[in-house]
Structure 1
Amino acid sequence: MEKSASNKLDNNTEKKKTGTKQWIYAILASICCLLFVIWTGYWAVLILIPVIIDIYITKFIPWGAWRNAKNPHVRKILDWVDAIVFALVGVWIINTFFFQNYQIPSSSLEKSLLVGDFLCVSKVSYGARSPMTPFSLPLMQHTFPFFGFKSYLEKPQLDYKRFTGTGHIDRNDIVVFNYPSGDTVALNAQNSDYYVICMRDQRENVWRNKSAYGDVVYRPVDRRENYVKRCIGLPGETIEGRNDTVFINGKAIASPENMQLAYIVQTDGTPITEEMFSEMGVSKDDYMTYNENGQQVVRAFNPASIRVDSLTLTNLGFKAVNGTFGIAYQVPLTKKMIAELKSKPFVLSIFGRNEYLKAANVKRNTDEYDYVYPITYKQDYYAGDFPALWIPKRGETIKFDGDIDFKVAAYIRCIKNYELNDFDYRDGKVYINGQQADSYTFKYDYYFMMGDNRDNSADSRVWGFVPEDHVVGKPLFIWLSLDKDKSWLGGKIRWNRLFTSGNKK
Structure 2
Amino acid sequence: MSRKKDLTKKESFWNRKRSDKEKAEDAKAKHWAREWLDALIWAAVAAIILRTFFFGAYRIPTPSMEKTLLTGDFLIVTKLAYGPRTPMTVSVPFTEIYVPGINLPWFRIPGYSEVKRNDIVVFNYPIDVAPISAKTNYIKRAVGMPGDRLRVDAKDLYVNGERAEQYETLMFNYRAITRGGVRLSPAKVREAGGSVVQSGNGEYILNLTSELAGEMESWPEIESVEQFVLPEDFNIFSRRGFNFSRGFNNHDHIPEFTVPYAGQQVELTPENWNIYQDILERYERVSVQQDNGQFIINGEETNLYTIQKDYYFMMGDNRDDSEDSRYWGFVPDDHVIGKAGMIYFSWDGERWLPRVGRMFDLIHS
Distance 1:100 1:419, change over 3 A: same
TM-score, normalised with respect to structure 1: 0.63
Cα 1:428–1:367 change in 2 (3 A) is closer
**Deviation at 1:383?**
5.0
Task: Specify the alignment match of 1:233 in structure 2.
Answer: 144
Q: State the partner residue of 1:170.
A: 116
Q: Counterpart of 1:451?
A: 316
- C-alpha distance in 1, partners of 2:264/2:25? 64
Give 1 or 2: higher helix fraction: 1
Aligned to 2:211: 336
**Could you tell me which residue of structure 1 aligns to residue 173 of structure 2?**
262
Alignment-mate amino acid for residue 165 of structure 1: G
> Whole-Å Cα distance in 1 between the matches of residues 168 and 296 of structure 2?
45
Q: Partner amino acid for 2:344?
A: W
The yes-or-no answer on 1:364 pairing with 2:310 is no
CA contact (8 A) 1:395 1:443 kept: yes
Distance (whole Å) between structure 1 residues aligned to residue 260 and residue 234 of structure 2: 31
Q: Distance in 2 between matches of 1:433 and 1:159?
A: 23
Deviation at 1:406, TM superposition (A): 2.6
Select the residue among 174, 181, 187 that pairs with 2:127.
181
In 2, the alpha carbon distance for the partners of 1:138 and 1:328 equals 52
Question: CA separation in 1, counterparts of 2:302 and 2:41?
Answer: 52
Task: Kindly provide the CA deviation profile for residues 446-500 of structure 1, in whole angstroms up to 9, marking residues without a partner as x.
Answer: 000001111111000000000000000001111111111102xxxx211221111
Query: Is 1:301 aligned with 2:257?
Result: no
RMSD of Structure 2 on Structure 1 (CA): 2.4
1:348 aligned onto 2:195: no
1:419 is displaced (CA, Å) by 1.5
Residue identity in the other structure for 2:325 = S
Report whether the alignment pairs 1:138 with 2:93.
yes
The change in CA–CA distance for 1:414 and 1:366 in structure 2 (over 3 A counts) is closer
For 2:200, give the aligned amino acid: F
Q: Distance in 1 between matches of 2:203 and 2:41?
A: 58
Cα contact 1:245–1:255 (8 A) shared by 2: no
- Of 180, 184, 194, 1:272 maps to 184
CA distance, structure 2, for counterparts of residue 227 and residue 408 of structure 1: 25
Whether 2:244 is the aligned partner of 1:374: answer yes
Query: Structure 1's 159 and 442: CA in aligned 2 closer, same or farther, altered over 3 A?
Result: farther
Structure 2 letter corresponding to 1:232: V
Q: Distance in 2 between matches of 1:181 and 1:347?
A: 42
For residue 91 of structure 1, give the secondary structure of its aligned residue in structure 2.
helix
Equivalent positions of 1:476-495 (< 5 A) are: 476-487=341-352, 492-495=353-356
Distance 1:107 1:300 in 2: 20
CA deviation after TM superposition for structure 1 residue 162, in Å:
1.3
How far off its partner does 1:272 sit? 3.5
Change (3 A) 1:373 1:258: farther
| Aligned pair partner of 1:409 in 260, 271, 274 | 274
**1:123 has 2:123 as partner:** no
Q: As a proportion of its length, which structure holds more strand?
A: 2
How far apart are 1:109 and its partner, in Å?
0.7
2: distance between equivalents of 1:383 and 1:180?
19
Q: Does the Cα contact within 8 Å between 2:152 and 2:251 map onto a contact in 1? A: no
* Structure 1 residues 159 and 419: alpha-carbon distance in aligned structure 2, compared to 1, 3 A threshold: farther
Report whether the alignment pairs 1:502 with 2:359.
no
Change (3 A) 1:343 1:82: same
Q: Which amino acid aligns with 2:228?
A: R
Q: CA deviation at 1:112?
A: 0.5
Partners in 2 of 1:104 and 1:485 — Cα distance?
Answer: 15
CA distance in 2, matches of 1:367, 1:352: 24
Inter-CA distance 497–427: structure 2 relative to 1 (3 Å threshold)? same
Counterpart secondary structure, 1:154: strand
The alignment partner of 2:38 has SS state of helix
AA of the residue aligned to 2:69 = L
**Inter-partner Cα distance in structure 1 for 2:31 and 2:205:** 64
- In 2: Cα distance, 1:155 partner to 1:122 partner: 29
1:440 deviation in Å?
Answer: 1.6
Q: Secondary structure at 1:421's aligned position in 2? A: coil
The residue number in structure 1 matching 2:98 is 152
Q: Which of 375, 385, 395 is equivalent to 2:263?
A: 395
> 1:128 & 1:174 partners in 2: Cα distance?
16
Distance 1:493 1:366 in 2: 41
Percentage identity across paired residues of the two chains: 33
**Aligned-pair CA distance for 1:71:** 5.2
1:87 to partner: Cα distance: 2.5
Supply the distance in 2 between the matched residues of 1:280 and 1:90 (Cα, whole angstroms): 44
Shift of 1:278: 3.5
Query: 2:55 and 2:272 mapped to 1: Cα distance?
Result: 37
Q: Aligned residue for 2:7?
A: none
Cα distance, 1:128 vs. partner?
A: 0.8
1:422, distance to aligned residue in structure 2 (A): 2.0
> Could you list the per-position Cα deviations for residues 370-413 of structure 1 after superposition, in whole angstroms to 9, with x for gaps in the alignment?
x8862444x4x35511122221111221133xxx0133221121
Q: Match of 1:266, SS? A: strand
Q: CA deviation at 1:340?
A: 1.8
Cross-structure match for 1:14:
none
Distance 2:296 2:38 in 1: 55
Moved more, 232-241 or 81-90: 81-90
Summarize deviations over 1:82-112 as a string: whole Å, max 9, x none: 3433232222111110000001111111000
CA contact (8 A) 2:237 2:246 kept: no
CA gap of 1:153–1:79, structure 2 versus 1, over 3 A, is: farther
Indicate the SS of the match to 2:354: coil
SS in 2 for 1:330: strand
Question: Who is 1:63 aligned against?
Answer: none
In 2, Cα distance between the equivalents of 1:427 and 1:229? Answer: 38
Partner AA of 1:276 in structure 2: K
SS of structure 2 residue aligned to 1:114: coil
1:69 and 1:406 map into 2 onto residues whose CA distance is: 79
Looking at structure 1, the residues matched to 25 and 332 of structure 2 have their Cα atoms a distance apart, in angstroms, of 53
Whether the 8 Å CA contact 1:363–1:383 is kept in 2: the answer is no
Query: CA 1:383 to 1:98, structure 2 compared with 1: closer, same or farther past 3 Å?
Result: closer
Aligned to 2:196: 287
